[in-house]
């Protein structure tokens, strides 16, 4: 296979980080085995998945009917991708054997022309590509391609990559501008970013071109979704919202505002950023930057959550961020991590890494409990269990995490993200080595012909001290660029014990240290981690008069378990000191924030619903825990945005 023609592949990273190692262990010990059981219908309490069986049927090795969602194949893909990332960090021959068997099965389920989709193969072989809008064929292909690339990079084995290259080659014969090809694009974006990955490992430019084709075709008039609908003689009617749901309301280069299904949107933006970087496409880059600004300045929750409404699991409109109605799907925050990562490839600006870090420590991992056994689709910023139970308009907001879902989208997506967390720490551009995230790990880079071992030590996210050892096998001139987190005020940097005046070296949030790096060099970064109050832009009507608590990258919340019922009656005075303290026995070890808040004295209020006098507040100490760790004790209320006194 060819090397990437554009950028160095990310090197393997061994995690030594306490925080993320816990999560990676959960993925290895719980999630991958559990999901394997799910895929094979071995879970007594869960709806059957049938995903592996679907491949057996498609391969002609089992009788029976296709069963499951039309995108059931993607569950197998996500499992394989998580397995690949896991093998990358730790060998596991038994697991690898299992994966090889599944890959062989997938190969046998592939049609001779390369086509590979169990639903259509089993159920409607004559209807391939007749409903791109709803039927997720290209979406499943994308996930399988991503898995194949990951498996190749983890194991060096090429079987899966060949299978998926063959499928991609076939897809390339189906779609395109040429006479006789379909001028379509997927209803659920995903293959676009996968084809870029396939290009990266194969060097085959057709994949890059096909990805770009899907991106550029989107939103053109007449709408392809209408064209294929008419071909199907379907009379379903839809309106402009339907196109917006799929981000197909305009050509993507003209889009300036994030609309529609949040996961589809960020997967697409990820591919757009990839393509812009790899093809130096300025207008695509401009669109990416406009959309990034729109999302992160107008449509993102403070946790890195996106999608403020359940209808369409979608963006609503600028500054509309209700805390009790949000959808904020785990997968959307995961997609935001992908997108931020690609924006960093496009240009080194710490804004992207700040948001990536925000989503990683908050809106993504809030999607699972600390045991990795229960999951949220929806990550609300405010929960009242009675409202979730009694109000249909809040029924999507679950007050407790659920076991594996029938539509198993978020849990395996979390598994693959966590298993590959090491990929997001560094990037290398020419001779510049970027450090975007801080977490304990060991890795190495080749800078020209010099091998540079890099080792990070830190108690992040609880402590802002980071020690990085840079160990070239011989002295060499190159730049290392360290991100200064946006939340850090008064950062101090030392090189081999000597204070560095980083002011002049800082550009777009990165401190560039260009020097003759030599053996045993050590950089110490001190990012003061202070619990601080966060306010919303006054245009966010839901958060006026409210304050959130954040310390370093971690957003905090109040839970009923610590603070009693009716969390809204609590008011945090602006003058109250926020005190941070590590509690090793709580929630696998977290820094909690306490403060002398007050509470509206409900006891002073008689039975009236309304009265002309308000009541006094009484002292009420509060204890806030990291948002990601909520809902790991008894069920109860939760609140991120606290009323301010």
Does 320 bind a copy of itself (CB under 8 A)? Our answer is yes
Based on the residue annotation, tell me whether 137 is a catalytic residue of this protein: no
- Residue 442 contacts residue 448 (beta carbons within 8 Å): no
Residue among 275 and 555 whose Cβ is closer to a copy of itself:
555
Geometric angle at alpha carbon 147, from 145 and 153, rounded to 5°: 105
Does 537 bind a copy of itself (CB under 8 A)? Our answer is yes
Does 580 bind a copy of itself (CB under 8 A)? Our answer is no
Q: How many residues bind a copy of itself (CB under 8 A)?
A: 57
Geometric angle at alpha carbon 277, from 258 and 263, rounded to 5°: 30
> Applying CB under 8 A, which of residues 370, 387, 500, 580 lies at the interface with a copy of itself?
387
> Applying CB under 8 A, which of residues 206, 349, 566, 588 lies at the interface with a copy of itself?
566
Q: Which of residues 601-640 bind a copy of itself (CB under 8 A)?
A: 601-602, 605, 607-615
Does 98 bind a copy of itself (CB under 8 A)? Our answer is no
Based on the residue annotation, tell me whether 179 is a catalytic residue of this protein: no
Long-range contacts of 241-249 (CB under 8 A, 24+ apart): 241/312, 243/219, 245/312, 245/314, 246/133, 246/187, 246/188, 247/189, 247/218, 247/219, 248/185, 248/218, 248/219, 248/223, 248/224, 249/219
Q: Which is it for strands 432-435 and 476-483: parallel, antiparallel or unpaired?
A: parallel
> Applying CB under 8 A, which of residues 95, 400, 467, 569 lies at the interface with a copy of itself?
569
Backbone angles phi, psi at 487, to 5 degrees: -80, -10
Would you call 131 helix, strand, or coil by DSSP?
A: coil
Does 548 bind a copy of itself (CB under 8 A)? Our answer is yes
Does 298 bind a copy of itself (CB under 8 A)? Our answer is yes
Residue among 153 and 571 whose Cβ is closer to a copy of itself:
571
**Sign of the C-alpha dihedral computed for residues 619, 620, 621 and 625 taken in this order:** negative
- Residue 366 contacts residue 347 (beta carbons within 8 Å): no
Please identify, among the stretches 76-84, 316-324, 341-349, 455-463, the one whose residues bind a copy of itself according to the rule CB under 8 A: 316-324
Does 533 bind a copy of itself (CB under 8 A)? Our answer is yes
> Applying CB under 8 A, which of residues 29, 232, 514, 541 lies at the interface with a copy of itself?
541
Question: Which is the catalytic residue, given 88, 217, 228, 313?
Answer: 313
Would you call 44 helix, strand, or coil by DSSP?
A: coil
> Applying CB under 8 A, which of residues 262, 325, 470, 554 lies at the interface with a copy of itself?
325
- For residue 642, give the nearest of 610, 625, 618 by alpha carbon: 625
At closest approach, how far in Å is the CB of 231 from a copy of itself? 29
At closest approach, how far in Å is the CB of 349 from a copy of itself? 14
Residue among 144 and 302 whose Cβ is closer to a copy of itself:
302
Beta bridge partners of 591: 582
At closest approach, how far in Å is the CB of 1 from a copy of itself? 42
Does 490 bind a copy of itself (CB under 8 A)? Our answer is no
Tell me which residue has tokens 């994308």: 142
Please identify, among the stretches 67-75, 112-120, 293-301, 422-430, the one whose residues bind a copy of itself according to the rule CB under 8 A: 293-301
Backbone angles phi, psi at 402, to 5 degrees: -110, 160
Question: Starting from the edge strand earliest in sequence, which strands make up the sheet with 510-517, in order?
Answer: 426-429, 432-435, 476-483, 510-517, 506-507
Residue among 236 and 574 whose Cβ is closer to a copy of itself:
574
Question: Starting from the edge strand earliest in sequence, which strands make up the sheet with 14-15, in order?
Answer: 14-15, 441-447, 450-458, 465-472, 521-526, 492-495, 498-500
What amino acid positions are annotated as catalytic residues? Answer: 313, 409
Which spans of this chain sit near a copy of itself (rule: CB under 8 A)?
A: 293, 296-298, 300, 302, 309-311, 316-317, 320, 322, 324-325, 384, 386-387, 390-393, 487, 532-541, 544-545, 547-548, 550, 566, 568-569, 571, 600-602, 605, 607-615, 643-644
């Amino acid at each position: 296979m060819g090397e990437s023609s554009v950028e160095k592949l990310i090197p393997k990273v061994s995690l030594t980080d306490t925080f993320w190692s816990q999560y990676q262990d959960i993925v290895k010990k719980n999630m991958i085995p559990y999901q394997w059981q799910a895929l094979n219908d071995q879970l007594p309490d869960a709806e059957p998945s049938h995903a592996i069986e679907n491949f057996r049927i498609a391969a002609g090795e089992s009788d029976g009917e296709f069963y499951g969602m039309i995108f059931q194949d993607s569950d197998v893909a996500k499992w394989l991708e998580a397995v690949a990332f896991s093998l990358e960090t730790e060998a596991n021959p038994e697991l690898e054997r299992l994966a090889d068997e599944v890959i062989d099965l997938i190969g046998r389920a592939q049609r001779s022309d390369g086509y590979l989709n169990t639903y259509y193969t089993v159920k409607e072989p004559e209807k391939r590509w007749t409903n791109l809008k709803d039927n997720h064929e290209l979406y499943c292909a994308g996930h399988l391609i991503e898995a194949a690339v990951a498996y190749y990079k983890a194991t060096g084995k090429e079987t899966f990559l060949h299978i998926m290259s063959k499928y991609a080659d076939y897809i390339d014969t189906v779609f395109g501008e040429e006479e006789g090809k379909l001028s379509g694009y997927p209803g659920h974006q995903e293959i676009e970013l996968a084809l870029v990955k396939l290009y990266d490992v194969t060097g085959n430019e057709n994949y890059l071109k096909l990805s770009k084709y899907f991106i550029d075709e989107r939103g053109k008039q007449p709408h392809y979704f209408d064209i294929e609908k008419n071909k199907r003689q379907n009379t379903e009617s839809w309106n402009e919202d339907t196109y917006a749901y799929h981000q197909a309301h305009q050509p993507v280069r003209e889009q300036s505002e994030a609309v529609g299904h949040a996961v589809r949107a960020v997967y697409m933006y990820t591919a757009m950023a990839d393509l812009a970087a790899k093809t130096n496409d300025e207008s695509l880059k401009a669109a990416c930057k406009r959309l990034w600004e729109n999302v992160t300045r107008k449509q993102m929750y403070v946790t890195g959550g996106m999608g403020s409404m359940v209808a369409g699991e979608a963006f609503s409109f600028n500054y509309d961020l209700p805390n009790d109605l949000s959808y904020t799907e785990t997968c959307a925050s995961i997609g935001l991590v992908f997108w931020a990562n690609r924006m960093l490839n496009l240009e080194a600006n710490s804004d992207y890494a700040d948001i990536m870090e925000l989503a990683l420590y908050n809106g993504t991992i809030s999607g699972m409990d600390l045991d990795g056994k229960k999951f949220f689709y929806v990550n609300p910023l405010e929960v009242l269990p009675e409202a979730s139970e009694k109000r249909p308009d809040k029924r999507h907001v679950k007050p407790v995490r659920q076991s594996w879902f029938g539509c198993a989208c978020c849990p395996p997506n979390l598994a693959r993200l966590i298993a590959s967390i090491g990929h997001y720490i560094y990037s290398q551009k020419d001779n510049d080595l970027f450090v975007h995230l801080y977490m304990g790990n060991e890795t190495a880079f080749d800078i020209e012909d010099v091998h540079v071992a890099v080792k990070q030590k830190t108690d992040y996210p609880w402590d802002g001290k980071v020690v990085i050892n840079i160990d070239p096998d011989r002295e060499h001139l190159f730049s290392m660029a360290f991100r200064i987190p946006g939340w850090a005020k008064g950062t101090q940097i030392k090189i081999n014990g000597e204070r560095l005046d980083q002011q002049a070296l800082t550009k777009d949030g990165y401190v560039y240290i260009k020097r003759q790096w030599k053996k045993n060099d050590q950089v110490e970064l001190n990012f003061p981690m202070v619990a601080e109050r966060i306010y919303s832009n006054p245009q966010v009507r839901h958060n006026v008069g409210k304050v959130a608590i954040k310390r370093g990258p971690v957003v905090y919340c109040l839970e009923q378990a610590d603070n009693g019922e009716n969390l809204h009656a609590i008011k945090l005075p602006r003058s109250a000191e926020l005190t941070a303290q590590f509690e090793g026995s709580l929630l696998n070890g977290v820094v909690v924030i306490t403060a002398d808040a007050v509470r509206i004295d409900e006891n002073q209020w008689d039975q009236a619903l309304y009265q002309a006098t308000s009541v006094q507040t009484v002292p009420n100490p509060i204890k806030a825990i990291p948002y990601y760790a909520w809902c790991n004790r008894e069920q109860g209320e939760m609140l991120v945005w606290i009323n301010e006194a």
